[in-house]
Structure 1
Amino acid sequence: MSLGIDIKFVNVGSMQLVNHGIPYEIINNMVGVSKRFFEMPYSEREIMYSRLYLSGQAIPCSYNQRTDGVFCWRDFLKLVCQPLPDVLPHCPSSPNDFRTLAVSYAKEVKFLFLMLVDAILESLGLMNKRNVTQKDDDKDEDEDKEEEGEILKEFEDGSQLMILNCYPPCPQPDLTLGMPPHSDYGFLTLLLQDEVKGLQIQHQKNWVTVEPIPGSFVVNVGDHLEIFSNGRYKSVLHRVLVNSMNYRISVASLHSLPFKSTIQPCPKLISQTNPRRYMDTNFSSFLEFLKSGDSTKKNFLESRKLTS
């Protein structure tokens, strides 16, 4: 993929992006306002959590604490960021610049996501960089462009969740995790992390720590991209460690198709030699899975597979 962006691959399902074009000021402001949000007394944040939840703009925890083998050592806020800028009135009212900074950040990250999607679709043969010289091909080219435009429009109108994570110092970090091993449900996750280590990616059954690079984004492939690509892209299993000394802040932006969309392998990627490997799914089936069983491993994706 050629984007004019510097890419450092962590493994086949994860990479770090630098020189991505998002101003450092916007990135730094987002980390800063997240820190200030979590520094507020919990009694104040609890009121905002309740208001956001009742408005439908906050999403409850992704993990079932009753069945998890380990409790998450973190505080967090999940916000629905689509459609922008209509999300602006639903952001926390404190700190007083939270809304402005969060929406500016969300817009920039959405644009970066769409750049990545364009490159991914091209790598899958679904977007053609044409150099047509024969006039007889004009009709087919117009039809292809229309179809490609429809695919991109779905992603432009797609879902975006922004998750602010705070991992406080833990007196016994060996006894818990910030987040247990999991893969993300969506298409791509763009993660901004501060300078404190904690994120680990599973690579060849080993856990590898992702070294923080100031101003960079960790991009993880999610379950939806694995399904959409019929297995060409693999979602990445990751977890978060905690430590006894430092707070850690991260901001995850999860992107996919609209919440009401059905996620399925792209028909153009299915053939006799590459049969369909996943059943259809949607956001409702994902939520039902979370309520009904253990979600600390890559079980949801495994439940969607038609072949081993």
Structure 2
Amino acid sequence: MAMEIAVVPDEKEKLMDNSLYLRGVAHLCGTGVARIPSKYVFPPSDRSAGDQGGAHSHQLGLPIVDLSDLHTPNRATVISLVGKACQEFGFFQVINHGIPKETIRDMTDACQRFFDLPFEERSRYMSADVRAPVRCGTSFNETKDKVFSWRDFLKLTCHPLPQMLPHWPSTPANLRDKVRPYAVHVRELFLELVAAILESLGLVSEEEVMKEFKDGTQLMAVNYYPPCPEPELTLGMPPHSDFGFLTLLHQDAVEGLQIQHEGSWLAVKPLEGSLVVNVGDHLEIVSNGKYRSILHRVVVNSRLPRMSVASIHSLAPSAVVRPAAPLIDAANPRRYIDTYFSDFVNYLSTREVKGKNFVQSRMVVGAQDEERA
């Protein structure tokens, strides 16, 4: 049995107060830290098995969906592939998605320049209020996390865009101009994917149903992971599922995303020009469990910074998320209770979110027992 090594705070760390950690890991790295403070050290059972940020981890070949066939006679094949990917993996990658590479490049460049700003400039947007239209912060949920994750973030509420845009950071000077086109394009892509997924479930994506998604929420989370001096001791993000209907993720060329598949943590190799799409908790509920949100995490490395941009989409805040009636019958009884967007916000505000504990809290009693079995 491997000997467990205790991490003892050094003298410099003992002098740190919690406010330093709340300034984020980019600021911490700027102090010249050579060892990670114990605040960032995960229990051995939760770490990335000492793989130094995924360099030696096993990779998972996610299904690749070519969206150029979505509006051709091959649409049925694409729909089938999307449905199979949602059911078997909960993740897939899309290519030929229609978002210009220049739009993605400009967006990521502007976001990187935000994290390059002095702390005093970035701190203007720091807030513990999860309802804030713009929020800069650190870790996963810094007000509740017992152990901090090696991650800084900028969260931008994107819908309705004309009302939200004035709240976005005014520095770097062109951030709004460079990020806005990506937000518009990725929302259009989300609506295309929603129609395909509803079709794969045998649900009619009629105008009334699609209007609920057109009026839905959109949150862009820009995640920044600086190089970490001891990546084997921490995580960029702990295992979690996403609360929304779908997440569309752009990741740079640095590996870090891992998903849990058949009991193992497997790395998702970045594919140039693609976006990663994953099933969220709300889609799990709407599909009555046919499609499941999947645990995923982020590992870090000691050599290169990494940045990803997650666009998290769902129904309108006032909508009720419930299993679709056609997917409930005697053989497939209802598995989830009615859920509101406010339920998740309240959950996030009052406790530490771990794994899939939110969506599991929305299961009916019988389904909870079945899940534990």
- TM-score category of the 2 structures, normalised to the smaller one: 0.7 to 0.9
| Cα distance in 2, alignment partners of residues 77 and 177 from structure 1 | 18
| Cα distance in 2, alignment partners of residues 2 and 249 from structure 1 | 24
2:81 matches 1:4? no
| Cα distance in 2, alignment partners of residues 262 and 60 from structure 1 | 29
Map Cα deviations across residues 14-54 of structure 1 (whole Å, 9 max, x no partner).
0111111111100111111111111111111111336x969
Map Cα deviations across residues 197-252 of structure 1 (whole Å, 9 max, x no partner).
11001101101111011221110100000000101111111000111111101110
Q: Which residue of 2 aligns with 1:91?
A: 168
**TM-superposed deviation, 1:69:** 5.3
| Cα distance in 1, alignment partners of residues 108 and 330 from structure 2 | 48
Q: Which residue of 1 aligns with 2:61?
A: none
Map Cα deviations across residues 89-145 of structure 1 (whole Å, 9 max, x no partner).
1111111111011110000000000000000111111127xxxxxxxxxxxxxxxxx
**C-alpha contact (below 8 Å) 2:149/2:238 kept by paired residues:** yes
Aligned letter for 2:214?
A: E
2:118 matches 1:41? yes
2:147 matches 1:75? no
Q: Which residue of 1 aligns with 2:95?
A: 18
How many pairs align?
288
**C-alpha contact (below 8 Å) 1:17/1:216 kept by paired residues:** yes
**TM-superposed deviation, 1:55:** 9.5
**C-alpha contact (below 8 Å) 1:55/1:90 kept by paired residues:** no
Structure 1 regions of 5+ residues with no counterpart? Answer: 129-147
**C-alpha contact (below 8 Å) 1:85/1:103 kept by paired residues:** no
2:326 matches 1:233? no
**TM-superposed deviation, 1:66:** 6.3
Q: Which residue of 2 aligns with 1:140?
A: none
**C-alpha contact (below 8 Å) 2:278/2:293 kept by paired residues:** yes
Aligned letter for 2:195?
A: D
**TM-score, with normalisation over the residues of structure 2?**
0.72
Aligned letter for 1:263?
A: V
| Cα distance in 1, alignment partners of residues 334 and 227 from structure 2 | 45
2:271 matches 1:213? yes
Aligned letter for 2:187?
A: K
**TM-superposed deviation, 1:253:** 0.2
**C-alpha contact (below 8 Å) 2:241/2:355 kept by paired residues:** yes
Q: Which residue of 2 aligns with 1:278?
A: 336
Q: Which residue of 1 aligns with 2:221?
A: 163
**TM-score, with normalisation over the residues of structure 1?**
0.87
Matched residue SS, 1:28: helix
Matched residue SS, 1:196: coil
- More off after superposition, 284-293 vs 86-95: 284-293
**C-alpha contact (below 8 Å) 2:126/2:136 kept by paired residues:** no
2:196 matches 1:119? yes
| Cα distance in 2, alignment partners of residues 264 and 176 from structure 1 | 36
Query: Which of 269, 272, 281 is 1:223 aligned to?
Result: 281
Query: Which of 262, 265, 277 is 1:204 aligned to?
Result: 262
Q: Which residue of 1 aligns with 2:25?
A: none
Q: Over aligned residue pairs, what C-alpha RMSD do you find?
A: 2.4
1:23–1:284 distance in 2 versus 1, CA, 3 Å: same
Matched residue SS, 1:186: coil
Structure 2 regions of 5+ residues with no counterpart? Answer: 1-64, 70-77
**C-alpha contact (below 8 Å) 2:140/2:237 kept by paired residues:** no
| Cα distance in 1, alignment partners of residues 273 and 66 from structure 2 | 20
Aligned letter for 2:223?
A: N
Q: Structure 1 stretches (4+) deviating beyond 4 angstroms? A: 5-11, 52-55, 59-67
Query: Which of 187, 191, 204 is 1:110 aligned to?
Result: 187
Map Cα deviations across residues 241-293 of structure 1 (whole Å, 9 max, x no partner).
11111110111000000112111111222122221110111122112222343
**C-alpha contact (below 8 Å) 2:66/2:95 kept by paired residues:** no
**C-alpha contact (below 8 Å) 2:101/2:273 kept by paired residues:** yes
Identity value in percent: 53
**C-alpha contact (below 8 Å) 1:93/1:99 kept by paired residues:** yes
**C-alpha contact (below 8 Å) 1:30/1:101 kept by paired residues:** yes
Aligned letter for 1:280?
A: D
Query: Which of 159, 163, 177 is 2:235 aligned to?
Result: 177
